[in-house]
Structure 1
Amino acid sequence: MDKIRIGYISFAILPFPNGFASNLDGKTDFTRQIIHIDEILSPEAKACTLLHEILHAVWALHALSDDDKEERIVTALGNGLAQVFRDNPKLLSFIKSSLN
């Protein structure tokens, strides 16, 4: 996946540039409209990290208050959704067809 639309913004999905902080799995850059994902992650970790960054973007675009709870909430929701999607492979297709 190379691009995703979140709200009114289209974000490119790219690996981190060389020399970027090695302690991050992902980072959303609202100024440049890019979601960076660490390319050394496993496919499962990449998917979970992408969900995590999507939740950060949704949080920001809907003007939810920014405090120290955001990271914990986004992590819990991202990990939880990743597991639900993995354990229920037909779920995303069902949701998508229900919205059309």
Structure 2
Amino acid sequence: MNIKELHTDQKAVSAVSLFKGENNMANAIQIQKNETLKEHITKIPALLLCVDGEVVFENEKLEKHTLKKGDYVHIEPNVKHWLIAKETCQLVLFK
């Protein structure tokens, strides 16, 4: 199975559960080129891994990171953040 097969091309942003454990989870996220995952907050620390494509991670603390295949960023709890896809991207979010 391939992570790209979990999503359709008809949605600008798609999220699918990959794994749920007792205390953790992983979601597969796809964002189409030039689309945005609007600002939101996580209540617990998270890690975002770019599997394919290119996406810009920004937060309210004015941090900005461009993620390409293999790049990752730690997401702080209780800090607004959002994503902008420069290319259609495949991401995995770990919490």
TM (norm. structure 2) is 0.31
| Bigger helix share | 1
TM (norm. structure 1) is 0.30
Q: Which has the higher contact order (CA 8 A, sep 6+)?
A: 2
| Bigger strand share | 2
